[in-house]
Structure 1
């Protein structure tokens, strides 16, 4: 569960990501729109240049008198209509000449209501026209070669104008070849609609994805934060107990009018005991922190596990006897097993497991420390016939301050750091620590370390 600051941060991350992606997608959409316009206009310009150039080059050498239609006009443009005569409607004409113009090199101008050809004199008066006949389209005679015009319906046309000269180099007039942009405008309108609807929907999808990704990215941070909060609460709770005991002992002494030597000694012993508990807990926390941050370099020293197990069983024999449990060792290898690491840390690793086994094994139980080999690894097993660990708790027992049974742990003086330290030590030695347990039957902790031959 995320706290309010994490939710706010998640919202900000998702919003910024959506805004940035929306801006990028808008730029891409605008780029696609402009590229589409440019590509179509280039294609249209190329077509107009081809048609206008062909007509210009074919007609101009045959012009003898300004403003007069020569025979070449009718040969190239069978449907040409003089402005002084009444022209047939475009629909009837296209039906009559559509098949005959297919064989003509300029037949492209008759394919749909796209192209028109107009011949204008130097004064701007219409001489003749051919092809599609747009209504209300201005003649717009001038120095510009390329023009974009609109007819009465608001449809756009792209037009190219070229001057025509007679054989004696006098200005005959102009040829205007134009093409309707209605198909282009339709495509652009459809593209605008797609972009107008698609971009907001895409941004919403990106926003939802951003929210999910932000949560996914912040999950490890949130887990670390929750672990830090839990650690702070647990550490404060553990430190409060001995501090409260010391404070209570000192206050009780201060309230007494007379303090005998034996009472003073008992009070001081209690204070020393609680102080020792505090010092031990702080030392464990520092060790654990340094191990997890890898601030403690593991010395590359050869350690004999046979001697390590033998020394530990001998050292904890008195503790096991006091707890009325049987502590034994079982060495299953003939030759000594050696590993590389810090002998003191390995000693602490196994001793923590033995200590826990003694604490949680009832009187009359048995604890066995087994030394064995598996391929290129050394195995140390600490088996007990104690209370066992529930399956749902086995994954959490290596967390700091976690206890399977808090009351039992406190009564035995533990702070819940032993297994966390053991896990950190095993990781520093590139090994593994596994647990197998069943309630009421006991637990087995298995240490696996890379072994070396000697």
Structure 2
């Protein structure tokens, strides 16, 4: 239970770093394993070829040496030296094939027993190979009792023809057994090395990520402290303004600053990976209506549309809609100029009746620190809250539309500015429609949230 609670309390950024650490460990171990497998395969192949070459050299040399120990004399094959030759005594299977021209070879001498030789068909094949090559030949053939042997047959010349052949065989089982032992040791060694590589990779990746984890922890602590330290004086400032009887404009500025700080902190936490957007099915039209009604000067804003369901984060979408409407009120013409908000499937549009934004600057205003008042040819709203020349109110911080674009991209949507029909500016917030639009209903648990 404690482990589960700890795992659930991890921030998304820390969880991603831990997944990255496991992935790096897996890649390190996989790369090591691939290299070891290639090296082991090469070693196994070389060992197999080396053992086969050594075996062939042994039986070939023995057969060639014994073929020189026997001879023909007036057509008679003399085999007496085989009884005393050390090469013959060390052979596992030894036989002499003799053939009269035009006839099948016959077995003259066998050590230790006839059952150790291949069957007659294979003996005939060996004999024909010796006649064709006129030298020592190497073949693999089972013995009559089922043993697997490697054979070497060397010719014995009778004047200008091959009259006999010395056949020497050796068991393959011992060589194959030694080869299998090597393969098993290589498999065990490679497995142990891969495990060691995985442990070392896990250790090294953990050490490499310690500064990142420490930095994430410090960043999360800073964001949490910043949220507390900023919200507390803002709340106190609002109380002071209310008690001091200040104008409604001052209260609006305090509320706007509070919302701006909340949005910026939420964006910072999400970009740092300390927080994730909570995407749930919600009624977009109801969320827009509720957001507009909460604005201090919403009398000049009209909302129209149809029931629309999207998957999104209610707080972030409300912040985006609020920024679009406040931007239209601030830069959309004289005080009290109408602002129309329309909700359609996957689309929220906010229209004002201001001078608009030049085409070349419509992407630039979505950058941080750029306001509509900074664009060429744009006019700001006149009046106490316009931020126009001669007014004490600021025209904006340049974070509003940047937050709108960020919220749109977070929901896999988009935000853009276009010319409104008949003049003015049209701001669009496009969102992917809900996969189950039929689930939209009038019942809901809270503002804009679809009921279960």
**Normalised by the shorter chain, which TM-score bucket?**
0.3 to 0.5
Larger Rg, first or second structure (1 or 2): 1
If the length of structure 2 is used for normalisation, what is the TM-score?
A: 0.43
> What is the TM-score with the length of structure 1 in the denominator?
0.43
